[in-house]
Amino acid sequence: MEFDTVIHGGTIVTASEQYRGDLGISGERIVAVAERLDGGMRRIDAGGRLVMPGGIEAHAHIAQESASGIMTADDYLSGSISAAFGGNSSFIPFAAQHRGQTIDNVIATYDARAKTSIIDYSYHLIVSDPTEETLNVGLPRAFARGITSLKVFTTYDLLNIGDAGMLDILGVARDHGALTMVHAENHAMIAWMNRELAARGMTAPKYHAISRPELAEEEAINRAILLARLANAPLFVVHVSTEAGARHVQRARAEGAPIFAETCPQYLALTRDDLDRPGMEGAKYICSPPLRDAGTQDALWRHVQTGTFDSVSSDHAPYRFDETGKLMNGSNAPYSKIANGLPGIAVRLPWLFSQGVIGGRITPQQFVAFGATNAARIFGMTRKGRIAPGMDADIAIWNPETIRRVTLKDQHDKMDFTPFEGFELTGEPEIVMTRGALIVEHGKLRGKNGQGRFVARGRLDVTGHPGVPVKEVALMKTDEANS
Ligand code: URP
Ligand code: ZN
Ligand code: ZN
């Protein structure tokens, strides 16, 4: 067989194994995996490095207006370049519906914005307006086009859809084999804390973390899981930041419920002390849910290690430290008027490799699972996230030995800070490919504006998650069948 590219002399790492082997690529696909492959128009010597599936970033806000209406600093060009330098071959940012907007209109808007991506992409919808039209026309059309996941919020004034809206959405998603994701924090608890803090004049950035208690996440994750159980629908809990929230996920999964979840590097690497930096520096660390504490970090790592989480995602939400972003309401704004979100799409995988694999917390196989394979399976990217014949040639070759410090310049995004500045990282992706094309090669950008393609995604695979019957729903169905 003639190959366009052969990657030879590397250690192939998948979500389940690791072996010395060569990869043959023809066109856009992997066509052969063998102990040794000759030939190839281009031969890439992996030189003993790790040959892994290119990362899939499953949680990123790109060219998206925030809940308060400001635009992220990164568009699809800069966001995808930053992702590629971080070892990603594809990503799934959000396409956000604003109230009054049809889903068709949302998708058309993001189709136009995404044209510049250098890596493959899809979108998760954000649904804020679950009208009849959204539920019965817009969503089914989006699912049919391969946009098979959507996110809802239990908080933020302009996004919170309430329990009834969530049940409606869960039901529609279930009927179409689509997946509902949830940002879970209790809106009323946060509003109450905001009032209590305001009454005390406590408005500095550090109070952001106090204003969103762990209890608010614990309650909302539990509620979202129970709503999903009632609707007999799968659910993906995004950016879990608390031990109690992780325990709810763990318990539901152990019972057989199709519950999936992620956490993010910031909840494992940073703490609420970062919000207490001098002046307004703490604003750079405002994200929701907020950063917690060292004890929570340890607990979340244990959940990463033991399988509570399917992915570790960046939740890249880039708002600059200026009037276009964090300081849009002035350089002394109260925490409640500072844009929520941290950048981190380029640092997610290098940080996870360094702290996880090199740090001895997770295996290289878990790294591949958290970084690519699980997201591909859960979000229906059926030709991505694995190294096997027939799969897209989305590859990242990692040097596990390089040591460097995180700098803003290396993020290749449009931000003016990185919250991970100065962190020491061991290991980095030296070569990244999307569908057989080099997009990053030893620190140089090779990908081209618009080279990425929209990925139509499949239905959610819930194998291994049989579900937990709800007695009353079963009784209703029995009566219906007998009537
Ligand atoms: O603070 C965050 N995470 N901002 C981005 C939007 C969201 O809630 O995920
Ligand atoms: Zn969120
Ligand atoms: Zn997010």
For residue 406, the surrounding DSSP H or E stretch is: none
Tens of pLDDT, residues 415-462: 999 999 999 999 999 999 999 999 999 999 999 999 999 999 999 989
Angle, CA of 61, 367 and 425, to the nearest 5°: 80
Residue 44, Cβ neighbours under 10 Å: how many?
Answer: 22
Tens of pLDDT, residues 309-332: 999 999 999 999 999 999 999 999
Q: Are residues 362 and 394 in the same domain?
A: no
Domain harbouring 36, CATH code: 2.30.40.10
State which residues have CB under 5 angstroms from ligand 2, the bound ion.
183
Q: Are residues 289 and 411 in the same domain?
A: no
For residue 6, the surrounding DSSP H or E stretch is: strand 5-13
Is the Cβ atom of 340 under 6 angstroms away from ligand 1?
yes
Closest residue to atom 6 of ligand 1, CA basis: 341
Tens of pLDDT, residues 111-165: 999 999 999 999 999 999 999 999 999 999 999 999 999 999 999 999 999 999 9
Is the Cβ atom of 287 under 6 angstroms away from ligand 1?
yes
| Block residue for tokens 């995404």 | 114
What 79-82 contacts at long range (C-beta under 8 Å, 24+ apart), as own/partner pairs, is 79/117, 79/316, 79/318, 79/345, 79/413, 80/116, 80/117, 80/118, 80/119, 80/121, 80/447, 80/452, 81/118, 81/412, 81/413, 81/445, 81/447, 82/316, 82/345, 82/346, 82/411, 82/412, 82/413
Say which ligand is closest to the CA of 217. Answer: 2
Is the Cβ atom of 126 under 6 angstroms away from ligand 1?
no
Tens of pLDDT, residues 44-93: 999 999 999 999 999 999 999 987 789 999 999 999 999 999 999 999 99
> Residue 69: inside a domain, yes or no?
yes
Ligand 1 atom closest to the Cα of residue 288 is 1
Closest residue to atom 7 of ligand 1, CA basis: 288
Is the Cβ atom of 208 under 6 angstroms away from ligand 1?
no
Closest residue to atom 4 of ligand 1, CA basis: 341
Q: Are residues 245 and 394 in the same domain?
A: no
pLDDT mean across residues, the chain: 97
In angstroms, what is the span from residue 149 Cα to ligand 3's centroid?
A: 14
Is the Cβ atom of 317 under 6 angstroms away from ligand 1?
yes
> Residue 473: inside a domain, yes or no?
no
Is the Cβ atom of 46 under 6 angstroms away from ligand 1?
no
> Residue 71: inside a domain, yes or no?
yes
> Residue 252: inside a domain, yes or no?
yes
Is the Cβ atom of 341 under 6 angstroms away from ligand 1?
yes
**Residue 391: pLDDT band by 50, 70, 90 thresholds?**
very high
Locate 175 and state its tokens.
Answer: 């009927």
In angstroms, what is the span from residue 80 Cα to ligand 2's centroid?
A: 20
Domain harbouring 221, CATH code: 3.20.20.140
Q: Are residues 199 and 272 in the same domain?
A: yes
Query: In percent, how much of the chain has pLDDT > 70?
Result: 100
> Residue 424: inside a domain, yes or no?
yes
In angstroms, what is the span from residue 60 Cα to ligand 2's centroid?
A: 10
pLDDT of amino acid 128: 97
Residue 19, Cβ neighbours under 10 Å: how many?
Answer: 10
Q: Are residues 226 and 328 in the same domain?
A: yes
Backbone angles phi, psi at 146, to 5 degrees: 95, 15
Q: Are residues 433 and 326 in the same domain?
A: no
Mean pLDDT of 338-345: 97
In angstroms, what is the span from residue 240 Cα to ligand 2's centroid?
A: 9
Q: For the chain, how many structural domains are there in total?
A: 2
Is the Cβ atom of 61 under 6 angstroms away from ligand 1?
yes
Q: Are residues 217 and 242 in the same domain?
A: yes
Distance of alpha carbon 337 from alpha carbon 182, whole angstroms: 23
- Kindly report whether the peptide bond that precedes residue 350 is cis, defined as omega within 30 degrees of 0: no
| Domain membership of residue 203 as a residue range | 55-371
Mean pLDDT of 375-396: 98
Which of 239, 274, 292, when mutated, tests ligand 1's pocket best, judged by the most ligand atoms within 8 Å of its CB? Answer: 239
Closest residue to atom 9 of ligand 1, CA basis: 315
In angstroms, what is the span from residue 123 Cα to ligand 2's centroid?
A: 15
> Residue 477: inside a domain, yes or no?
no
Is the Cβ atom of 152 under 6 angstroms away from ligand 1?
no
Locate 138 and state its tokens.
Answer: 């817009």
Q: Are residues 415 and 347 in the same domain?
A: no
Is the Cβ atom of 183 under 6 angstroms away from ligand 1?
yes
Q: Are residues 358 and 420 in the same domain?
A: no
In angstroms, what is the span from residue 225 Cα to ligand 2's centroid?
A: 16
In angstroms, what is the span from residue 340 Cα to ligand 1's centroid?
A: 6
> Residue 458: inside a domain, yes or no?
no
Q: Are residues 291 and 353 in the same domain?
A: yes
